[in-house]
Structure 1
Amino acid sequence: MTGYYDLILGLIPLSLIGVTAVLSAVGVSMTAAVPLAASIPVALIGHALFVNSPVDDTQSATETVDSSSASFEAAD
């Protein structure tokens, strides 16, 4: 299953290469196209880190540990 961060990791090189190619095709020099195009991946990374930040789901991890330990019974 593809998650949000998998999409971000795929879009980083695609957006850099794609926007650079489009800007070059329009007539912008390569030395100007690369830094302009790099603003898109920087924005994607910033969104992934600060707006939709990765967090640990400690409550579900605790429930998983509790439910798995409850399934074992004593062998008396």
Structure 2
Amino acid sequence: MPSYYDLILGLIPVALFGLAGTLTIAGIQLTVAVPAAALVAVGLIGHALFVNGPVDPTPSHSATSTASTSSKQAAPTSD
């Protein structure tokens, strides 16, 4: 199953070529249609990077609790 980022990568050329072609066929000049389509593509890229950006996986809770409990052990006392 394709991920979100695979869909974004597929939608970028669709936005550029499909929307520019559709706007040109609809009667809008090519010099206006191409920048309009490019704005949509940039919007998709911006959403993928900044709104729903890739993040590093966070460590699991059990791994952090093991490390924190081992550091809280009492120091040996000398009598």
How does the TM-score come out when normalised to structure 1?
Answer: 0.74
Superposed CA offset, 1:13-60 (max 9, x none): 011111101110111111111001111110000000000010010315
The match for 2:10 is 10
Stretches of structure 1 that go unaligned for 5 or more consecutive residues are 64-76
- Cα distance between partner residues in 1 of 2:53 and 2:37: 23
Stretches of structure 2 that go unaligned for 5 or more consecutive residues are 64-79
| 2:31 counterpart of 1:41 | no
The ranges of structure 1 where at least 4 consecutive aligned residues each deviate by more than 4 angstroms after the TM superposition are: none
Q: Percent identity?
A: 59
The structure carrying a bigger helix percent of its residues is 1
The match for 1:21 is 21
State how many pairs are aligned.
62
How does the TM-score come out when normalised to structure 2?
Answer: 0.71
Larger radius of gyration: 2
